[in-house]
């Protein structure tokens, strides 16, 4: 953990400087030893003994010192009402449990999202987690930027930012491009995209992937601002389907949006997929329900979670390694909301 991060108080605890003085080694060596870095076994032993003698809290010592780890990873989630996140959290929990670690969750959702995210991150750090996995980063995530810049162990998972932190995400660009290809193959030329949060990398990448491929294929694309949550999505779906010049297909930037489109289509009596094809992104559980049958792009949710945990584990072991950016492949899942366009004219 970096020295910039405040620790809980108590009596003033011994610092690495105190220990360095006591053992006659440099503070850098002491820090390295306490962080699990490379030092000689003899030095490590002396440092640990000194740490204990100087009244380091036993918790820190007992935990194998090497890393001063607490065995708890903080996870920040922005929107637990979007089923993708509970599914991702479940996968994160499993990946951590397998390693004997625990997950402490902070939700940063709601109004004033940036402030709440900052609060969530702060609250986790104050509770001495080993590092943080952030699942809902946006362009406005100032706290995550600062955290990464300060050297604090943080992994951006699912949504990413172009910063010096380890990141793991799905291939949103390729996934969205495949949606454009699928719709084109079914004869759709006039399509609408209902966008997610414009500050989220997922929405940005899905927009780029879809629109680039659609342009190559000569499709007309209408970009409708929306949002990843159900309310914003319903409003956008009404604007797209309620207008006189309705597209023949809609791509929602996530499944929540696509399901909102299905609901509005049902209300308006629009036949899916005969009159309207609908595709989402994520493959949440509800997409696979036979009564929903949503065609969508499947995110490798379990693999994302697994790699997020691995990246964080590696970071804790090698705090100074270069940040890694990884992208996992996706899969197109065609169900019953897409099919050949029924020509009505």
Write out the residues near a second copy by the rule CB under 8 A: 6-10, 72, 80-81, 83, 85-87, 89-90, 93-94, 97, 102-107, 109-110, 116, 119-120, 123, 126-128, 230, 259, 262-263, 266-267, 285-286, 289-292
CB of 312 to a second copy, least distance (A): 18
**Residue 131 DSSP symbol:** E
Long-range contacts of 207-212 (CB under 8 A, 24+ apart): 207/176, 207/253, 208/173, 208/176, 209/172, 209/173, 209/174, 209/175, 209/176, 209/177, 209/180, 210/176, 210/177, 210/179, 210/180, 210/251, 211/180, 212/177
CB of 213 to a second copy, least distance (A): 28
Q: Distance between CA atoms of 295 and 152, rounded to whole angstroms? A: 39
Using only C-alpha atoms, the chain has a radius of gyration, in whole angstroms, of 24
Whether the Cβ atoms of residue 275 and residue 249 lie closer than 8 Å to each other = no
Q: Distance between CA atoms of 278 and 259, rounded to whole angstroms? A: 8
Whose Cβ is closer to a second copy: residue 154's or residue 261's?
261
CB of 107 to a second copy, least distance (A): 5
Whether the Cβ atoms of residue 170 and residue 305 lie closer than 8 Å to each other = no
Whose Cβ is closer to a second copy: residue 110's or residue 274's?
110
Whose Cβ is closer to a second copy: residue 87's or residue 197's?
87
Q: Distance between CA atoms of 177 and 69, rounded to whole angstroms? A: 42
Closest CA to 264 of 243, 235, 293: 235
Whose Cβ is closer to a second copy: residue 99's or residue 266's?
266
Q: Is the peptide bond before 273 cis (omega within 30 degrees of 0)?
A: yes
CB of 101 to a second copy, least distance (A): 11
Whose Cβ is closer to a second copy: residue 33's or residue 276's?
276
CB of 112 to a second copy, least distance (A): 10
CB of 314 to a second copy, least distance (A): 24
Whose Cβ is closer to a second copy: residue 101's or residue 166's?
101
């Amino acid at each position: 953990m970096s020295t910039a991060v405040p620790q809980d108080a108590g009596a003033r605890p011994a610092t690495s400087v105190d220990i360095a003085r006591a053992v006659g080694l440099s503070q850098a060596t002491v820090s390295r030893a306490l962080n699990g870095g490379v030092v000689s076994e003899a030095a490590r032993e002396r440092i640990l003994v000194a740490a204990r003698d100087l009244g380091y809290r036993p918790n820190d010592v007992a935990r194998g010192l090497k890393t001063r780890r607490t065995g708890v990873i903080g996870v920040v989630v922005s929107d637990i009402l979007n089923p993708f996140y509970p599914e991702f959290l479940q996968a994160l929990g499993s990946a951590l449990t397998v390693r004997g670690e625990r997950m402490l969750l902070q939700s940063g959702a709601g109004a004033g999202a940036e402030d709440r995210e900052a609060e969530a991150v702060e609250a986790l750090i104050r509770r001495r987690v080993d590092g943080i996995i952030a699942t809902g980063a946006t362009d406005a995530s100032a706290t995550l930027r600062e955290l990464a810049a300060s050297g604090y162990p943080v992994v951006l998972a699912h949504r990413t930012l172009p910063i010096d932190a380890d990141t793991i995400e799905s291939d949103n660009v390729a996934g969205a491009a495949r949606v454009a290809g699928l719709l084109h193959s079914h004869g759709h030329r006039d399509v609408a995209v209902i966008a997610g949060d414009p500050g989220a990398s997922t929405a940005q990448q899905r927009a780029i992937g879809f629109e680039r491929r659609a342009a190559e294929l000569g499709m007309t694309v209408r970009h409708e601002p929306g949002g990843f949550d159900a309310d914003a999505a319903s409003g956008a779906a009404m604007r797209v389907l309620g207008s006189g010049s309705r597209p023949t297909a809609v791509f929602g930037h996530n499944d929540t949006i696509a399901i909102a489109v299905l609901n509005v289509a049902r209300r308006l009596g629009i036949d899916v997929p005969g009159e309207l094809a609908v595709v989402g992104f994520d493959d949440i559980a509800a997409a696979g329900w036979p009564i929903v049958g949503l065609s969508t792009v499947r995110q490798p949710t379990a693999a994302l979670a697994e790699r997020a945990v691995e990246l964080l584990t590696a970071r804790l072991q090698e705090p100074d390694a270069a940040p890694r950016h990884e992208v996992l492949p996706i899969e197109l899942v065609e169900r019953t909301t897409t099919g050949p366009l029924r020509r009505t004219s």
